[in-house]
Copies of this chain bind each other. A is one copy, B any other.
Amino acid sequence: MSDIKKRLVIIGGGFAGLSVAKKIDKSQWEVTIVDRHNYHSFPPLFYQVASSELEPSGITFPLRREMRARKVKGCRYRMGTVASIDTASRRVITEFEEIPYDKVIIAAGATNNFFGIDGLPDRVYTLKSVPEAIRCRNAILERLERAALLPQCDERRALLTFVVVGGGPTGVEIAGALGEMKRYIIRRDYPAIDREEVKVVLCEGTDRLLRTMSENSSKAALKDLGQLMVDVNLGKTMKSYDGRLITFADGTTINSATLIWTAGITGEPIALTGTEVKAGPGGRFIVDEYNRVTGLDDVFAIGDISCHADERFPRGCPQLAQPAIQQGRTLAENLNRRASEQWRPFSYKDKGSMATIGRNRAVVDMGKLHFSGWAAWMMWMFIHLISLLGMRNRAVVLLNWIWSYFSFSTSLRMILKTAEQPHKKAY
């Protein structure tokens, strides 16, 4: 081993990127993590930020603070949005600088896919980042405030109709949270709004919810959402949305001021220059069993932005935390090996999947085992709590959950914006 460390650049400080950082041998590699955000965040709980159940600070953790953690020590963080990688000169290019690398790992994750539907990005609310979740929270609360000021009219009805498009875990979870808001919060906090006026609608294009999970879980989720007064529509595909009117493929329409879009994801856009290789379907980079981007020597991709098709997963691993973490770990171990050593191919160990629908309600699939209800909900909470970065965050999230469990409420329904132009109005 030479004394000069090789330069490893990791694009993205999410589950995948941090998993590499923890396992990589810092005596061999000089590791740089580049991320547009100066924090790691916890996507499974974004919907709880949107529904005012948790504060953003509870599910985010500063990357620089993480760089001080025992396992990650020695890695450095640089802020930047990676627009492209020049594979010829081996440089990662951000808006601020060019970072040279010997090996680069693309772990930038996925963002929303709007499938080219006209005007959608500006009109819908999404849950793929903390800023998006905050925006969604502010929108939900503003709709309620605006409605409370209006007499019965179409506008008031549109403001009180919340439509979630997409019946995957995020869609089910945010619809459940909105159902709980309708059931427990409206009556107490908004005396000017009748609970029955609030409509929560969940639309899914296929014939079942949570279609990556078991039939049992799909059925349990459907039943739970019904009890929370969520109007679930299966086989319902959205065609267009003008900011008020949602039109579906079957010709029906809904008037809604708030459409939460959880129906599609695509890899974060990262261009490669100096090569013909580019991202494949769904914006994912095709990788081999070592997570090496096909056709390139020194470029790897892991997590949501990567795709390795095999017999078990003909369309690649599910885009979840577990595959990302496992791929990161395997890749780091391989990068740590001496030149003479054989690399170990990646194989995904499915530890199960879960979703929650509200208090005391969740569904869990673990291999052949499926269960739902209170036990599933407790397990869901435990797993999510221990997966958070930072003891303070775990303490704060636990405190919030206990508080809201017993009070049926939270004190987090603030419309908290950042004043980008604080003095625009007054001057």
Contacts and interface: CB of A to CB of B under 8 A. Distances in A.
A403 B414 contact: no
Given A191-B76, A422-B131, A64 B122 contact: no
B64 A189 contact: yes
A134 B390 contact: no
A216 interface: no
A242 interface: no
Contacts of A395: 399
Interface in A48-75: 55-57, 60-62, 64-65, 67-68
B122 A423 contact: yes
A158 to B, nearest CB: 16
Contact of A425 (B81, B112, B396, B399): B81
B189 A414 contact: no
Nearest to A185: B64
Interface stretch (A145-153, A221-229, A299-307, A339-347): A145-153
B135 A60 contact: no
Interface in A406-427: 409-423, 425-427
Interface string A368-401: 0000000000000000000000101101100110
Contacts of A61: 411, 414
A106 B425 CA distance: 19
A422 B148 contact: no
A277 interface: no
Contacts of A132: 419, 422
Contacts of A244: none
Contacts of A112: 423
B417 A121 contact: no
Nearest to A40: B414
Contacts of A416: 39, 56-57, 60, 130-131, 134, 418
A141 interface: yes
A427 B60 CA distance: 25
A399 B398 CA distance: 13
A421 B65 contact: no
Contacts of A403: 392
A126 interface: yes
State which size class the interface on A falls in: 35 or more
A79 B390 CA distance: 36
Interface in A143-194: 145-146, 148-149, 188-192
A78 B427 CA distance: 24
B419 A129 contact: yes
Contacts of A390: 411
Contacts of A37: 414-415
A336 interface: no
A267 B64 CA distance: 40
A425 B80 CA distance: 13
Given A149-B96, A411-B65, A111 B426 contact: yes
A140 to B, nearest CB: 12
A146 to B, nearest CB: 7
Contacts of A39: 414-416
B414 A60 contact: yes
Given A135-B418, A411-B392, A192 B76 contact: yes
Contact of A57 (B79, B130, B269, B412): B412
B189 A418 contact: no
The 5 lowest CB-CB distance pairs between A and B, nearest first, are: A131-B419, A121-B423, A55-B57, A39-B414, A79-B145
